[in-house]
């Protein structure tokens, strides 16, 4: 049986008197690729921050890489050595002349000295097909190229748990495809990946489980073939959806609103 890397039990996050996530129960096993899908404001990014240990729930309990949530300072330091997190926004000052190699090297911050090696950076650049980009300035790259550099920054950590918040956001279809292939490579080697996305087509074929969130609550969960269906996505988005599957990938199309729907949680 695969080891459990994270658990959440009745976890809820509140802001301004409003519950934006939960109560929610979740367990993550080693080697899983979990896609998190849902409308805007569903709590997807909040869930990722809870799993990263950077968002403190108001209620509930949990564990992260063997440490109890919320993390103590010492536990947070230990967890960061085994976890890598890609937030939605990761801007760098264009006035600072960081090269691609510099940005990837930043991924080794906080690791033991023995793991901070030039060879590890070389490997990350090669795996992410960036070997020829090492000396280029990061801020001069396209959005898709910058995302690949950020994924290389995660790769160099050789983390057990990878948390990706909409890594394909804002990219054109060709670059989305290339980045999805890159995410598939990143998920290799038994890593556990949790990836937030608005578009189910961005989930790679290795995705083993999907969590559908709506209004901060878990709407549905299970393997892609059970959750990414016409009926389930139509209910999730309150409009008629059609899902197609090809070569382990899924795509959803809106085919009209469903007028007068009763809210799912009424």
At 195-251, the pLDDT tens digits run: 999 899 999 999 999 999 999 999 999 999 999 999 999 999 999 999 999 988 999
The token pair at 199 is 């578009």
The pLDDT tens digits for 94-109 are 667 899 999 999 999 9
Q: pLDDT band at residue 169, thresholds of 50, 70 and 90? A: confident
Q: How far apart are CA 68 and CA 53, in angstroms?
A: 10
Q: pLDDT band at residue 262, thresholds of 50, 70 and 90? A: very low
Q: What are phi and psi of 247, to 5 degrees?
A: 55, 40
Higher-pLDDT residue of 150 and 93 is 150
User: For tokens 């536990």, what's the residue?
Assistant: 75
Q: Which of 207, 239, 210, 235 is nearest to 222 (CA)?
A: 210
In three-state secondary structure terms, 39 is coil
User: For tokens 């085919």, what's the residue?
Assistant: 255
Higher-pLDDT residue of 129 and 214 is 214
Q: Which of 153, 172, 170, 171 is nearest to 162 (CA)?
A: 153
On the question of pLDDT at 51 being above 50, the answer is: yes
Q: How far apart are CA 97 and CA 77, in angstroms?
A: 29
Provide the whole-model pTM. Answer: 0.89
pLDDT at position 181 is 86
pLDDT at position 127 is 87
């Amino acid at each position: 049986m695969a080891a459990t890397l994270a658990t959440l039990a009745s976890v809820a996050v509140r802001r301004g008197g409003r519950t934006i996530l939960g109560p929610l129960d979740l367990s993550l096993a080693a080697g899983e690729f979990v896609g998190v899908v849902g409308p805007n404001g569903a709590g997807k990014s909040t869930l990722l921050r809870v799993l990263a240990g950077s968002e403190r729930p108001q209620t509930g309990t949990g564990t992260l890489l063997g440490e109890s949530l919320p993390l103590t300072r010492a536990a947070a330091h230990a967890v960061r050595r085994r976890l890598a997190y890609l937030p939605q926004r990761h801007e760098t000052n264009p006035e600072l002349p960081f090269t691609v190699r510099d940005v990837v090297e930043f991924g080794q911050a906080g690791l033991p000295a023995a793991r901070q090696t030039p060879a590890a950076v070389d490997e990350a650049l090669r795996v992410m097909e960036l070997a020829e980009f090492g000396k280029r300035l990061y801020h001069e790259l396209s959005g898709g190229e910058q995302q690949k550099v950020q994924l290389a920054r995660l790769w160099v950590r050789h983390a057990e748990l990878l948390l990706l918040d909409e890594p394909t956001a804002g990219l054109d279809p060709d670059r989305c495809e290339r980045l999805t292939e890159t995410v598939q490579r990143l998920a290799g080697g038994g890593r556990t990946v949790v990836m937030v996305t608005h578009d189910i087509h961005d989930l790679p074929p290795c995705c083993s489980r999907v969590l559908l969130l709506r209004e901060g609550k878990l709407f549905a969960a299970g393997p892609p073939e059970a959750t990414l269906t016409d009926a389930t996505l139509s209910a999730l988005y309150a409009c008629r959806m059609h899902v197609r599957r090809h070569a382990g990938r899924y795509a959803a199309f809106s085919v009209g609103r469903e007028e007068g729907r009763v809210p799912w949680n009424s």
